[in-house]
Structure 1
Amino acid sequence: MIWESTRACPLACLHCRAEAVPDRDPRELDTEAPKDLMHQVAAFGQPAPLFVITGGDPFQRPDLLDLISYGREAGVRVAVSPSGTPTLTTDRLRAVHEAGAVGLSLSLDGSTPALHDGFRGVPGVYRWTLGAWDTARALGMKVQINTTVTQHNLHDLPDVVRLVHTHAAMLWSAFFLVPTGRGAALGALTAEQTEDVLNFVYDVGLAVPAKTTEAHHFRRVALQRRILADRGEDHERALRLGPLYRELRDRAAELGLDTGERRVRRPPLDVNAGRGFVFVSHTGTVHPSGFLPLGAGNVWERPLAEIYRTSELFTGLRDADRLAGRCGACEFRQVCGGSRSRAYGLTGDPYAEEPWCGYLPGSFPHQRELAELLAGLTTRNCDGDRSVPPRDAS
């Protein structure tokens, strides 16, 4: 459960969903409203969904520590997803930790100051982010690093993963841009580039805990790779991966990300807009995702659990039979479903096919093995991802 605590933020990120501004909106929920919202989240049942405070920059709210502390009383786990600004001081991070935050989510969109600061629109953000990251780790906090994948950093991804490995993040999330807000002006990835990056993320999942956000076809890739590995087949040839994949894989090898201690790969979770994920705006409007700007009600007027469980928008998004185009015909539709946010952003239809997926339904060569594997999966509406969703996925 993502709560957009404010749209105020001192950064000017090129992809910003919220099109954040320097000053707080007078319509923001006051201190008592988010406390009530926490109780509404707890009403989903135990274990309660993770309550993520995002923005804008949550540090622009003077009641942030009070709200984090209140989470314990309400019976919910609270995480914070701040902007990389000078507000991330050691004292403030210690206060957030002592107030009871279970995790911190930070964005790193390049392995160098030039790449990251250029994307975030303010000099110094790279340095502040790495400083906050190391400070939070020293305090004993779990840190998730989120990287927005766009044309600007495609070739830099292995170097970002090296930083994630070196600084020991709990999780790395590759967030695939959704063209909404300021992000509508950024260049799109091709379906072929997306496929190459998804397979790269799968590979480095043995070196760092890795996941994707708004790239739900990562679940398809994981199943394909599992079957191909069991059969001893070359995935690069079988999946017809392109030169970008080879470049990313070779660079990861140069950085030593394919050697040393190997970890168990983190399985991708079955979470999508409105399916294990809900977003509440700074004014209380409920959306399936911060990147899917269709409202299903307001927490001032209806309980959050009721909106999530019964609204036509949310129940429709959980019905794979409503998917159109290739997504509707795809054998992976129950475990993938594509990015409903990206489909809406590019077509105006939240049920349209995933624009950044090039998979042709039925083209995977081992359909019998796939059918057996899919039959063995238990598909369900996830009650909460134990990771900290990226602030950009809010």
Structure 2
Amino acid sequence: MTASPDSQSAVPSLDTARRPFVLVWEMTQACDLACKHCRAEAQPRRHPDELTTAEATALLDDARRFGEGQLVVLSGGDPLARPDAVELVRYGSDRGLRMTVTPSGTGSLTRARIDELRDAGLRRMALSLDGGSGEPHDEFRGEPGSFERTLRAARDAREAGLPLQINTTVCAETVEELPAIRELVTGLDAVLWSVFFLVPVGRGRILDPIPPGAAERVMEWLREVSETAPFGVKTTEAPHYRRVAIERRAGGAERAPDGIGRRTGIVAGDGFAFVSHTGEIYPSGFLPKSAGNVREGGIVEPYRRSDLFRSLRDRDALRGKCGACPYRHVCGGSRSRAYAYTGDPFESDPLCPYVPDGYDGPLPATQQG
């Protein structure tokens, strides 16, 4: 994510039927790391059918049609594995897009590269920490030294004047690390902590998620953290964090004090869109169900008009307890997780333990028995 001085006023009026709050482009699946949770199942070499530089600039030109200040996240793999990464940040920035990047913590992320990205107009850098110290983080990332390289890059970004976001994956292997990571986020002067609750896709299929009750307790703790921390807190693929906020009488809008603002109810396909390295258009990188390819007509029309995206914006189309939930319009559940577990993106989110009053229908397998 990235900062924008006018987004606090702009976000409440955002019509997610017309534009996403977040557009993610997976620039490449190439990466020198072999992280245990990697959705992309990244590998060292770039795919021969990646979008070319010319196709990438066409994608950015089309993204401008969503409206002023569209937020674009360049992800991977490692987006810096593409030699045109800085060029594309500059191209998007020059056209009024809010460009952000999520590089991997490898030796290629030097201070000089960070300065180049800043000078190209980058608005925010997001780095991942999945352990509070070197051993657990490096084990999770599959690369000795990744922890120290990530910390060095975070400090370099801060010294370069780039707002810093820290991303963390929550699963059985990492959940006990969260308090220590929270301290690191504070010490690094990050503006946002984005906490991702595992969706079992890619390499993440081999990891154990935390159970629904534990997820609820983590969200309650995150809400407490958000009330006193010097950074914003958001969850990824865990929109029921918003229900937790409402139930704790802490306010329903997830609005981080980082200059972005958060609109309630953003889920895969509704306020969020993803373009793969080969141009496929998905509601999310964790929901690999295609609505077309940007090579065949860009991103704007598929987002606005495809049956898949339009149906995902209809919260009354949800099934099971998500469909009966009074919070469905401010939450909506993780459509990606529902798809990963059931093959149906409209089923209930199996990570959420909440059962609506009076609901006596089927429950996800994680809550049965």
TM-score bucket (shorter structure): 0.7 to 0.9
1:44 equivalent in structure 2: 66
Cα separation, 1, equivalents of 2:34 and 2:158 = 27
1:127 equivalent in structure 2: 148
| 1:166 counterpart (187, 210, 217) | 187
Cα separation, 2, equivalents of 1:209 and 1:72 = 24
Give structure 1 stretches of 5+ with no counterpart: 229-262, 364-394
The C-alpha deviation readout for 1:158-189, integer Å capped at 9, x for no partner, is 11111111111010011000000010111121
| 1:151 counterpart (162, 172, 193) | 172
Check whether the contact 2:265–2:329 (CA below 8 A) recurs between aligned residues: no
Matches for 1:176-215 after TM superposition, within 5 Å: 176-206=197-227, 207=229, 208-215=231-238
Give structure 2 stretches of 5+ with no counterpart: 1-22, 252-256, 359-369
Cα separation, 2, equivalents of 1:80 and 1:227 = 31
For residue 182 of structure 2, give the secondary structure of its aligned residue in structure 1. helix
Amino acid in the other structure paired with 2:46: R
1:13 equivalent in structure 2: 35
Cα separation, 2, equivalents of 1:75 and 1:160 = 34
Amino acid in the other structure paired with 1:291: F
Check whether the contact 1:202–1:222 (CA below 8 A) recurs between aligned residues: yes
The C-alpha deviation readout for 1:37-59, integer Å capped at 9, x for no partner, is 11111001123x21111111111
The answer to whether structure 1 residue 285 and structure 2 residue 265 are counterparts is: no
Cα separation, 2, equivalents of 1:72 and 1:349 = 37
For residue 43 of structure 1, give the secondary structure of its aligned residue in structure 2. helix
1:30 equivalent in structure 2: 52
2:125 equivalent in structure 1: 104
Cα separation, 2, equivalents of 1:72 and 1:139 = 18
Amino acid in the other structure paired with 1:343: A
2:6 equivalent in structure 1: none
Check whether the contact 1:218–1:268 (CA below 8 A) recurs between aligned residues: no
The C-alpha deviation readout for 1:30-85, integer Å capped at 9, x for no partner, is 101111111111001123x2111111111111111111111133221111110110
Matches for 1:227-266 after TM superposition, within 5 Å: none
For residue 338 of structure 1, give the secondary structure of its aligned residue in structure 2. coil
For residue 203 of structure 1, give the secondary structure of its aligned residue in structure 2. helix
Q: How many residues align?
A: 329
> Do the aligned partners of residues 102 and 267 (structure 1) sit closer, same or farther apart at CA in structure 2, a change above 3 Å counting?
closer
Check whether the contact 2:41–2:202 (CA below 8 A) recurs between aligned residues: yes
Instruction: Say what the alpha-carbon RMSD is for the aligned residues.
Output: 1.8
CA offset at residue 303 of structure 1? 2.7
Check whether the contact 2:130–2:177 (CA below 8 A) recurs between aligned residues: no
Amino acid in the other structure paired with 1:347: T
Check whether the contact 2:265–2:332 (CA below 8 A) recurs between aligned residues: no
1:315 equivalent in structure 2: 310
Check whether the contact 1:219–1:268 (CA below 8 A) recurs between aligned residues: no
The answer to whether structure 1 residue 92 and structure 2 residue 113 are counterparts is: yes
Cα separation, 2, equivalents of 1:354 and 1:38 = 32
Which of these two proteins has the greater Rg computed from alpha carbons? 1
CA offset at residue 290 of structure 1? 0.3
Cα separation, 2, equivalents of 1:223 and 1:171 = 21
| 1:117 counterpart (127, 138, 150) | 138
For structure 1, which segment, 354-363 or 166-175, has the greater mean C-alpha deviation from structure 2 after superposition? 354-363
Check whether the contact 2:130–2:136 (CA below 8 A) recurs between aligned residues: yes
Matches for 1:343-358 after TM superposition, within 5 Å: 343-358=338-353
Amino acid in the other structure paired with 1:211: K
The C-alpha deviation readout for 1:185-209, integer Å capped at 9, x for no partner, is 1112111011001111111002131
Cα separation, 2, equivalents of 1:276 and 1:227 = 23
2:327 equivalent in structure 1: 332
> What TM-score, normalized by structure 2, do the two folds share?
0.86
Check whether the contact 1:287–1:294 (CA below 8 A) recurs between aligned residues: yes
| 2:101 counterpart (72, 80, 91) | 80
Amino acid in the other structure paired with 1:56: G
Cα separation, 2, equivalents of 1:65 and 1:344 = 34
Cα separation, 2, equivalents of 1:19 and 1:156 = 24
Amino acid in the other structure paired with 1:325: G
Amino acid in the other structure paired with 2:193: W
1:234 equivalent in structure 2: none
2:270 equivalent in structure 1: 275
Amino acid in the other structure paired with 2:181: V
> Do the aligned partners of residues 351 and 335 (structure 1) sit closer, same or farther apart at CA in structure 2, a change above 3 Å counting?
same
Cα separation, 2, equivalents of 1:62 and 1:177 = 30
1:247 equivalent in structure 2: none
Cα separation, 1, equivalents of 2:192 and 2:316 = 32
